[in-house]
Amino acid sequence: MGVSRDRLPYEMRRAGIREDRVPSPKTLYRVEELGREPRIGIKAGLAEFYGVDLHVIWPPREPRCAREAA
């Protein structure tokens, strides 16, 4: 679905995504251009909007305890 960064929040609200899961255009810029990872609520909102599993977009991280055991 080709939706511009500025239009995406509006389209997400229109689709019934909860307000606390709708990213701002600034957040979308940080994700797209700077490679930052948004908070979990935003991830869930984007996954819901695009109809995919959250982990398709952002693979799960290795648990912290697994890193410490190595």
Q: What is the pLDDT of residue 49?
A: 95
Cβ–Cβ under 8 Å, residues 25 and 5:
yes
In a domain, residue 64? The reply is: yes
| Beta-carbon contacts of residue 56 (< 8 Å; ≥ 6 apart) | 47
User: Could you report the per-residue pLDDT of 32-61, keeping only the tens digit for each?
Assistant: 999 999 999 999 999 999 999 988 888 887
The total of structural domains in the chain comes to 1
In a domain, residue 1? The reply is: no
> Span 7-32, mean pLDDT?
96
Q: What is the pLDDT of residue 70?
A: 55
Is the pLDDT confidence value at 19 over 60?
Answer: yes
Q: Provide the whole-model pTM.
A: 0.81
In a domain, residue 2? The reply is: no
**Which residues form the domain of 44?**
8-69
> What is the per-residue burial (b if ≥16 Cβ within 10 Å, else e) of 45-57?
bbbbbeeeeeeee
